[in-house]
Amino acid sequence: MNAPTLERPPIPGVKHIVAIASGKGGVGKSTTASNLAVALAMMGHAVGLMDADIYGPNVPIMMGTKARPQMTPEREIEPLERHGVKLVSLGLIAGDGVPIIWRGPMLAKMVTQFVRDVAWAPLDCLVIDLPPGTGDVQLTLTQSTPLDGAVIVTTPPLVAQEDVRRGVEMFRTVEVPVLGVIENMSTYICGSCGTETPIFGRGGGQRTAEAYRVPFLGAIPLHRQVQLGSDRGEPIVASDPDAPLAKMYRDVAERVWRSLAG
Q: Is the dihedral of CA 214, 217, 223, 228 positive or negative?
A: negative
Closest listed residue to residue 14, CA positions, set 119, 113, 114:
119
Please tell me whether residue 31 adopts helix, strand or coil conformation.
helix
pLDDT at position 99: 63
State how far the alpha carbon of 3 is from the alpha carbons of 43, 143, 171, 188, in Å: 35, 10, 10, 40
- Note the pLDDT tens digit of each residue in 166-179: 888 889 998 999 99
Q: How many CB atoms lie within 10 A of CB 139?
A: 16
Please tell me whether residue 209 adopts helix, strand or coil conformation.
helix
Would you say residue 20 lies in a domain?
yes
Please tell me whether residue 100 adopts helix, strand or coil conformation.
coil
Residue 211 has pLDDT above 90, yes or no: no
- In this structure, what CATH number is given to the domain that contains residue 27? 3.40.50.300
Nearest-angstrom CA–CA distance, 159 and 155: 9
Half-sphere exposure of 251 (CA within 13 A, CB side): 13
Residue 2 has pLDDT above 60, yes or no: no
Would you say residue 75 lies in a domain?
yes
Would you say residue 45 lies in a domain?
yes
Residue 105 has pLDDT above 80, yes or no: no
Would you say residue 7 lies in a domain?
no
Q: Which residues contact 60 (CB under 8 A, 6 or more apart)?
A: 51, 66, 87, 89, 91, 92
Half-sphere exposure of 170 (CA within 13 A, CB side): 25
Please tell me whether residue 256 adopts helix, strand or coil conformation.
helix
pLDDT at position 98: 62
Closest listed residue to residue 198, CA positions, set 215, 186, 183:
186
Torsion of CA 221, 156, 22, 80, to 10 degrees: -10
Cα-to-chain-centroid distance, residue 113 = 18
Taking a C-beta distance cutoff of 8 angstroms, is the pair 223, 195 a contact? no
- Note the pLDDT tens digit of each residue in 18-46: 999 998 888 889 999 999 999 999 999 99
- With cut-offs at 50, 70 and 90, classify the pLDDT of residue 3: very low
pLDDT at position 54: 83
Residue 17 has pLDDT above 90, yes or no: yes
pLDDT at position 256: 97
Query: Which range in 40-54, 144-158, 219-233 is most confidently predicted, on average pLDDT?
Result: 40-54
Do you know the residue count of the chain? Answer: 262
Please tell me whether residue 193 adopts helix, strand or coil conformation.
coil
Would you say residue 226 lies in a domain?
yes
148 compared with 105, residue with greater pLDDT: 148
The pLDDT mean for the chain works out to 89
What domain range includes position 172? 14-261
Would you say residue 2 lies in a domain?
no
Cα-to-chain-centroid distance, residue 179 = 13
pLDDT at position 30: 95
Closest listed residue to residue 164, CA positions, set 151, 149, 177:
151
pLDDT at position 100: 64
Rounded mean pLDDT, 218-231: 89
Q: How many domains does the chain have?
A: 1
pLDDT at position 73: 92
pLDDT at position 96: 67
pLDDT at position 5: 57
pLDDT at position 115: 95
Would you say residue 1 lies in a domain?
no
Nearest-angstrom CA–CA distance, 138 and 59: 17
Average the pLDDT over each of 41-50, 66-75, 120-129 and give the range with the smallest value: 66-75
Rounded mean pLDDT, 166-195: 87
